[in-house]
Amino acid sequence: MEVWTEKYRPKKLEGIRGQDDITSRLKAFMKSRSFPHLLFAGPAGTGKTTAALAISREIYGEDWSDNILELNASDERGINVVRNKIKDFARTKALEDVPFKVIYLDESDALTKEAQHALRRIMEDYTHTVRFILSCNYSSKIISPIQSRCAVFRFKPLPKESVVEILNKIIKNEDLVAEQEALELIYEVSEGDMRKAENLLQACASVTKNVNIKAVTEVVGFAEPQEIEKIIKLSIAGRFTDAKKKLTEVMVGYGLSGLDVVKQIQKQIWKLNIDDSIKIKLIRACGEYEFRLVEGSNEFIQLAAMLAEFSLIAKK
């Protein structure tokens, strides 16, 4: 079975969605067939590795994979391992018309400060033969002498249109049918992490060709939003017993923890069409009960108390 995140990884910069500033700046570098060291900062699944690979394809053509070395800073034991691998890799020359090879160092922010200083020296030693592309989640965790040697690119979570567009393309290609709301739900759960979104879609597709809300909620371990809404509405209508019964049903049916449910209830409250003054109080109650659950209180007692409080809030 092919993993979709690899199958659908864009091969060219043009295929990268939702990072237009970044791709246009990178394309300008490609035109001159040269670039400085690069620092790619941003959350997971936003195209950092994809961009590094696309650059290599663009610069080296067919032989691209011989000219890029991918290392993961958190896997490699210590900076000395990195140094030795780089030494070996940099020993052979790249193509005649490209005077450097590329080293992609993933999760650079996993390196200690000392290791980063060593890395900075390595970057200087190989400055004529190697271009570094460093990736990290937070650029603030990278020492400034490295930052100042790199062109910095900030990757953002993909916007909804991009996530849905990519998912729709996959759906067409894989002969699936999908409800638009189901794709939007995948987007919401993924929070703009495209790897997560593609993995969720693939998990759904392994169960059914019809990607609907029900299928998505089953794979994400989420209750259907309407069911959560029902719990809230019953409780604020003062139908406490029914609300509690529905809550138990949802928790058992979907195998959710108390904390999962509180988080989902909190999200759903934002979307409810109710008076703001009530909304504020409900949100505050969620925070209180979330805290109690994190502290390890009994979840059924706490959740029942939360619904009771919802009823009281709405009554006032």
Residues engaged in binding Mg ion (CB under 5 A): 49
Q: Which ranges of the chain does DSSP label H, i.e. alpha helix?
A: 4-7, 20-31, 48-60, 78-91, 113-125, 144-147, 160-173, 180-190, 194-205, 213-220, 225-236, 240-254, 258-271, 276-294, 299-315
Binding letters toward ligand ADP, positions 244-273, x by CB under 6 A? ------------------------------
150: β partners: 37
Candidates 13, 19, 101, 202: give the one binding ligand ADP (CB under 6 A): 19
Q: Is 187 in the site for ligand ADP (CB under 6 A)?
A: no
Q: Is 157 in the site for ligand ADP (CB under 6 A)?
A: no
Nearer to ligand ADP, 106 or 299 (CB): 106
Q: Is 131 in the site for ligand ADP (CB under 6 A)?
A: no
Q: At 211, is the secondary structure helix, strand, or coil?
A: strand
Candidates 101, 131, 195, 230: give the one binding ligand ADP (CB under 6 A): 195
**Pairing assessment for the beta strands 130-136 and 101-106 based on DSSP bridges:** parallel
The Cα–Cα gap between 40 and 150 comes to 9
- CB of 236 vs ligand ADP, minimal distance in Å: 40
Candidate segments 26-34, 41-49, 123-131, 285-293, binder of ligand ADP by CB under 6 A: 41-49
Nearer to Mg ion, 19 or 49 (CB): 49
Residue 242 buriedness (CB in 10 A; 0-12 / 13-18 / 19+): middle
69: β partners: 103
- CB of 151 vs Mg ion, minimal distance in Å: 18
Q: Is 202 in the site for ligand ADP (CB under 6 A)?
A: no
CA quadruple 99, 131, 145, 147: dihedral sign: positive
Closest by alpha carbon to 184, among 149, 221, 159? Answer: 159
- CB of 60 vs ligand ADP, minimal distance in Å: 19
Q: Is 101 in the site for ligand ADP (CB under 6 A)?
A: no
- CB of 135 vs Mg ion, minimal distance in Å: 6
Candidate segments 24-32, 47-55, 217-225, 241-249, binder of ligand ADP by CB under 6 A: 47-55
The Cα–Cα gap between 72 and 134 comes to 10
Contacts to ligand ADP by CB under 6 A? 5-6, 8-10, 16-19, 44-50, 158, 166, 194-195, 198
